[in-house]
Amino acid sequence: MFTALLGALWLGGMAAAQPAVPQTVFNKAALQQDFDQLYSGLQQAHYDLYAHYPKTRYDSDYETYRAQIEDGMSRLEAQVLFQRFVALGGIAHATTTLPFDDFMAFREADGAMLPLFLLIGEEQVTIDTVTSKEGALGRGMVVTAIDDAPISAWLDRVRTIVSADNDTLSNSLIEQQLPFLLWMLDGERAQYTVTAIADGTPVTVTVDTLSRPEQDAIEATLYAPVVDARKSDASDDNDGDDTAPRAKRMLSERVAYLRPGPFYNVDDDSGNVWDEAPFKRFVDDAFSEFLATGAEALLIDLRLNPGGNSSFSDPMLAWIADRPFRFASRFEVKVSPQAEAANLARLDEQAGDDDVSKRYARLYREHREGEVVDFDLPYAQPKDGEQFKGQVYVLVDRTSYSNAVSVAAIVQDYGFGTVLGEKTADLATTFGAMERFQLDNTGIEVGFPKALIIRPNGDRTPDGVTPDILIDSSGKDAEDVLASALSIIERNL
């Protein structure tokens, strides 16, 4: 339940940071120019555009999608079409910038969405949460069809706008963003039909979509007792707030808890997402408190973590590292005009103070377009002076993404601690280090991976991080999984 609710909060937080974009319309020629720029730009800049999808098919689909462009398409309609095309490649870090801002503006204007979140397993799809007036559907019920389409076929349609390296990752993203993805595909609808198994019998229920006030009113009734109970168990300050992006507290007399949240700046209103100072202060304060309390073990919770940058996570890991470390054994970068321009813009924004961006700038100057170059990653160092010397555990699941997966891989591969939980859907060896270029007419941004990142142990297999100790989180509340993790830690102590 709370995994889905927190997923919705994360989605809203990411979107609310941007202003709504007016839905202007574009003529066919302008859209075709942007589509041409989209494909040619990906061919130039993407580390390996055809790694999962052959060039012959991509070229053929390029012609097919281009023919679907019409006069008078809105920016949102163009985003959906362009995203479908980019998603064909099957790589998570190749994606258009999705219209979260427009969705949030739609919701703020009392736009209605399907109040349903799913858990997508290998064998079946079940309801995680449903906030509906009808009351006939409940958590854990197996969903067999939506809108009279078998659930597998219905999910295949949703997957067409999700950039992901595999179905597991795609399913994870759909679990977190389903109402938003349906809004992209369908716009606003009054209702959906859902067929599910109740007490062994299929039932088909017409579920009304809900505005935010309608949904909030129902959720307040359904979930208030659970939320109140959790608040009563938390500490007196906001460190125990399980809806906050970051949290630090003691889980027990001996076990400390750290939820670092996103590895980018969400701590102030500066607008600089790469300002590391507030995050470093939070981490340093947390470890200082843990040491003062005499904590014997630490649990770092990376569930529902969107990732970010190693310049944030490295200072956290420096508190527990016993030797120099880095997030990849190899980091291979493709040189392109798009990557060079994105790096130059970052240097301009940061007044030239970013040493890594300066090194990228030298690399782009010294090598030809299209070359793949080994980028020598510096090692991060253990923290000087006082460190946390107790047992360290990292909790992950299928909602741990990007740099959060890299953190888990570092802890596992360097032996800094024990990884608990569910295998990550996102990959430890992956195409990443995303950059962006902007399309000239619509202003749509296109993300691309400029690098191949190989996990610290050198394994080039594109795979997630498999925990040292598995915790089955299917159908469990986030707090139940946390309780299981605490039980494991306490037994080991």
Q: pLDDT tens for residues 337-392?
A: 999 999 999 887 765 456 888 999 999 999 999 999 999 999 999 999 999 999 99
SS (H, E, C) 410-478: HHHHCCCCEEEECCCCCCCCEEEEEEEEECCCCCCEEEEEEEEEECCCCCCCCCCCCCCEECCCCCCCH
Given phi > 0 = left and psi -120 to 50 = alpha, else beta, which region is 304?
Answer: left
Q: Residue 198 — pLDDT band, cuts 50, 70, 90?
A: confident
Distances (CA, A) of 98 to 11, 184, 303, 426: 11, 9, 22, 19
Q: Residue 87 — pLDDT band, cuts 50, 70, 90?
A: very high
- Average pLDDT of the residues in 465-471: 97
Quick one: which of 220, 328, 313, 295 has its CA closest to 489?
A: 295
Q: Which two tokens stand for residue 8?
A: 């919705």
Q: Does domain 2-108 have CATH number 2.70.50?
A: no
pLDDT at 4 > cutoff 50: no
Residues 235-335+370-428+463-492, CATH architecture = Alpha-Beta Complex (3.90)
Note the pLDDT of residue 235.
39
CA dist 474 and 5 (Å) reads: 15
Distances (CA, A) of 75 to 63, 318, 335, 444: 20, 44, 30, 8
Amino acid of residue 187: G
> What are the φ/ψ torsions at residue 222 (nearest 5 degrees)?
-75, -45
Note the pLDDT of residue 24.
85
- Average pLDDT of the residues in 89-117: 93
- Average pLDDT of the residues in 288-300: 98
Q: pLDDT tens for residues 301-349?
A: 999 999 999 999 999 999 999 999 999 999 999 999 999 999 999 887 7
Q: Percent of the chain scored above 90 by pLDDT?
A: 76
- pTM for the model: 0.84
Note the pLDDT of residue 199.
85
CA dist 435 and 373 (Å) reads: 16
CA dist 130 and 62 (Å) reads: 38
Q: pLDDT tens for residues 419-463?
A: 999 999 999 999 999 999 999 999 999 999 999 999 999 999 999
List every span in the chain annotated with CATH 2.30.42.10.
116-214
List every span in the chain annotated with CATH 3.90.226.10.
235-335+370-428+463-492
Q: pLDDT tens for residues 114-143?
A: 999 999 998 899 999 898 877 789 999 999
Note the pLDDT of residue 352.
47
Fold classification of 116-214 (topology level): Pdz3 Domain (2.30.42)
Maximum Cα–Cα distance across the chain:
67
CA dist 400 and 315 (Å) reads: 19
Q: pLDDT tens for residues 13-53?
A: 333 333 444 568 999 999 999 999 999 999 999 999 999 99
Note the pLDDT of residue 242.
58
List every span in the chain annotated with CATH 3.30.750.
2-108
